[in-house]
Structure 1
Amino acid sequence: MTAVLRWRYGTVTGVRRQWRGACEVDVLVEARRADDPATVRALAYVAVVGTPAIGDRVLLNGNALARGLGTGGYAFVVAIPDHLPDDVDDPGHIVKARYTPQQAMFSAVDEPGSAHRRAVTQADDIAAMPVVTADLHSALAPVVAGIRRDAPTARVAYIMTDGGALPAWFSHTLDGLSGLLAGTVTTGQSFGGDLEATNIHTGLLAARHVLEADIAVVTQGPGGLGTSTTWGFSGTACGDAVNAIAVLGGRAVGALRISGADTRRRHRGVSHHSLTAYGRVALATADLPVPDDLEPELSERVAAQLEPLAARHRLVTVKTEGLPEAVAALPVDVSTMGRGLAEDPAYFMACAVAGRHAASLLSDGPGASNLLP
């Protein structure tokens, strides 16, 4: 059978950045092939492998680095053989990254023995909580900016699905936004949040009834998967989330992936990801906010693309006044596909108006929206 992992040994020569749950290191590689790099940048999840130190010999997985993947362009520390971490003592029995060599054990909010089981299992709805769904992890920060611009005291929870990175610890954005969030719930095979949940449904219940969120945001982790085909992308989960939100009595707000700068035709105007997820996967109704100040040509394109979705969803126009400043003032740098706010304002404003509209559902505040004609 063909091997599927690129294993390498190496020695830690330097410790770089550290953030919640993660440690970035430089590693001198013990080459096995002529094209192996002499040194690599590697990432260790400290709860999984421990904290590497200079001089430690480490076992690496070099797949993502060798393939030149942007988001995942690290070698990953699989183990520090001579300095193993302590054994797991968590009483939970929920396994994530199941049946892989690095499957990890967690306590989920909905399992027997959890301190939160009663709160989650006694609830059967999320009490009309607005929930913003988005295709890409890069949407999280501008959505939060839009919410907090108009509802600065609202409790905002992040629900991370498993379409991209599985460990929440990989996200610099999430680490930087921690002071603006009531907490993070990692669902499905994703892990590393403040709370763990079995699926999107119990994740929503945990956000509402354990974190006591007023608004939740649902996106995958960094590094979504796409194949340039109608159905082959991880963002279809947006439509699944809309359905789950409806089942649990929430109010779904779909952040549209809009771009005037993406060079790929399938992502110009409204991305085909949004059109498929909300137009074909979502069977329940969502509010789909659109910025009021798109460039005229882009605005016409977006309106035409969204017209077929109007039969099922509520299309709303939302003012962007004050939102560019709110996004710029975030404690994290925003970027999508290598583009920032100045290079692709339509993308970030589409996310921010989704947050603003969600905030407006809490009251008739300045973010109140109008139905598109």
Structure 2
Amino acid sequence: MIRWRTGVVSRIRREWPGAAEMDVEVLPAGTGARGRPPTAGSPEPCRALAYTALVGRPETGDRVLLNTTALAMGLGTGGYALVVAVPDRLPPDPAGPGHLVKARYTPLQSTVLGADEQGSPHHETLRDADGVDGMPVVTADLHSALPAVLAGVEDARPGTRAVYVMLDGGALPAWFSRSAAELRAAGRLAATVTVGQSFGGDLEAVTTHTGLLAARHVLGAELAVVAQGPGNLGTGTPWGFSGVAAGEAVNAAAVLGGRPVASLRVSAADARERHRGVSHHSRTAYGRVALAAADVVVPLLPGEFGARVRREAAELAGRHRIVEVPVDGLEEALRRLPVRVSSMGRGLDEDREYFLAAAAAGRHAARLLDGAD
């Protein structure tokens, strides 16, 4: 289940809040605990990632314990060896309160301070909060939609205070997302709240519901974006994909008195037919999982593909409000982002329609704040 290796850090490549990327010389399988290699084989270089809040900051020359499972599987998003420990230089014990356990009952369980727990300075605020006051909540299938949604928000209403509520269907540590870190540094994203089993946000919360309440009442969000972290799980079956949580997020936003805005996953470039046009993920999450009504944003894309998206999105009209949103100016807004957009290895030029659809959802949500839609 886990491929264990030891290695030696050869250089630190780059760092961002909560994470450090490095080159590691990985010792062959069977290397002893003190780094004594077997008689055959030599170290192999690889790229590794350390979450510094968990394991400390590795330095050049450090021996590290690695989990190389995702690397061996060739996963795109998870294509790192992950540093499990720096065994010769362990970090100090954590200090301070915090009783929420993430990755519970696994060897790497850790504790965080939940915004909603009794020891939190925000406990009383969240104990008494019961709604989000009509706040627009954009729901999306993939993490890659986040920058595009924010591009649409900024284009329609510059300076809007947007908070990302990160679900646990993809990466669990928020630190894995360089795009979220860069969007935060550029002022495009106010903060991140990590919920469920995800962790590492500016605030931690037990559920999507308390995550939305914390975004609104603790962080002062005008608008929230709810999506899983980088990476996702799909099996090619109607129900076996982590993006069903987008429909559940619609329900959470609605029950809290928010204004759910459903961002469609569309593509003209995906090689898999089930994701061409309006993805089956969106059709299932919004058409069957979401029991509350949302504004389903349909981008007014040109040509036959645009007509196909409108036809397929119309199937959701029985439960939701279909809102057609022009995409003029949104490509330019996407190119002004401080991060490069990418989904499934495709950038803006390779899958323009995907990013325009997410940006259109952001445009509509921002306009709701001023009563424009």
The answer to whether the superposition gives a TM-score over 0.5 is yes
Within a 5 Å distance, the mapping from 1:24-63 to structure 2 comes to: 24-32=21-29, 38-63=44-69
Give the distance between the partners of 2:128 and 2:337, measured in 1 at CA.
37
The structural deviation recorded for 1:7 is: 0.5
* Distance 1:48-1:255 versus aligned 2 partners, 3 A rule: same
Asked if residue 195 in structure 1 is aligned to residue 192 in structure 2, the reply is no
The structural deviation recorded for 1:36 is: 8.9
Q: Which runs of 5+ in 1 are unaligned?
A: 369-373
Q: 2:156 aligns with which of 147, 150, 153?
A: 150
1:273 maps to a residue whose letter is H
Give the distance between the partners of 2:216 and 2:224, measured in 1 at CA.
8
Query: Cα deviations across residues 219-268 of structure 1 (Å, max 9, x unaligned)?
Result: 10001111111001000000000011111000000000011111110000
Q: 2:83 aligns with which of 71, 77, 82?
A: 77
Aligned to 1:14: 11
The structural deviation recorded for 1:35 is: 9.2
Q: Pick which of 311-320 and 129-138 moved more.
A: 311-320
Conserved? CA contact 2:298–2:313, under 8 Å: no
* Distance 1:280-1:189 versus aligned 2 partners, 3 A rule: same
The structural deviation recorded for 1:76 is: 0.3
Asked if residue 347 in structure 1 is aligned to residue 354 in structure 2, the reply is yes
Give the distance between the partners of 2:345 and 2:367, measured in 1 at CA.
31
Aligned to 1:97: 103
The structural deviation recorded for 1:170 is: 0.3
Aligned to 1:263: 271
Asked if residue 123 in structure 1 is aligned to residue 120 in structure 2, the reply is no
* Distance 1:13-1:358 versus aligned 2 partners, 3 A rule: same
Aligned to 1:297: 304
Aligned length: 362
Asked if residue 172 in structure 1 is aligned to residue 169 in structure 2, the reply is no
Asked if residue 109 in structure 1 is aligned to residue 115 in structure 2, the reply is yes
Conserved? CA contact 2:27–2:43, under 8 Å: no
Conserved? CA contact 1:256–1:274, under 8 Å: yes
Query: Cα deviations across residues 328-367 of structure 1 (Å, max 9, x unaligned)?
Result: 00110001111111111110110001000001111144xx
* Distance 1:319-1:303 versus aligned 2 partners, 3 A rule: closer
Give the distance between the partners of 1:295 and 1:182, measured in 2 at CA.
33
Conserved? CA contact 2:180–2:189, under 8 Å: no
Determine helix, strand or coil for the equivalent of 2:345.
coil
Give the distance between the partners of 1:234 and 1:246, measured in 2 at CA.
20
Determine helix, strand or coil for the equivalent of 1:137.
coil
Q: Which runs of 5+ in 2 are unaligned?
A: 31-39
1:282 maps to a residue whose letter is A
Query: Cα deviations across residues 29-69 of structure 1 (Å, max 9, x unaligned)?
Result: 11017899711111000000000001100000000000000
When normalised by structure 2's length, the TM-score is: 0.95
Q: 2:313 aligns with which of 306, 319, 341?
A: 306
Q: 1:236 aligns with which of 235, 244, 266?
A: 244
Conserved? CA contact 1:90–1:105, under 8 Å: no
Give the distance between the partners of 2:113 and 2:179, measured in 1 at CA.
25
Give the distance between the partners of 1:258 and 1:36, measured in 2 at CA.
46
Determine helix, strand or coil for the equivalent of 1:241.
helix
2:73 maps to a residue whose letter is R
Q: Pick which of 106-115 and 297-306 moved more.
A: 297-306
Give the distance between the partners of 1:35 and 1:211, measured in 2 at CA.
53
Conserved? CA contact 2:259–2:294, under 8 Å: yes
Aligned to 1:371: none
Give the distance between the partners of 2:371 and 2:133, measured in 1 at CA.
18
Moved segments of 4+, more than 6 Å: 33-37
1:134 maps to a residue whose letter is A
Q: Pick which of 298-307 and 121-130 moved more.
A: 298-307
Give the distance between the partners of 2:194 and 2:107, measured in 1 at CA.
20
Query: Cα deviations across residues 296-333 of structure 1 (Å, max 9, x unaligned)?
Result: 21122222222221010011111112211111001100
Give the distance between the partners of 1:276 and 1:37, measured in 2 at CA.
47
Asked if residue 251 in structure 1 is aligned to residue 248 in structure 2, the reply is no
Conserved? CA contact 1:90–1:106, under 8 Å: no
Identical positions, percent: 62
Give the distance between the partners of 2:159 and 2:315, measured in 1 at CA.
36
Determine helix, strand or coil for the equivalent of 1:177.
helix
Give the distance between the partners of 1:185 and 1:124, measured in 2 at CA.
18
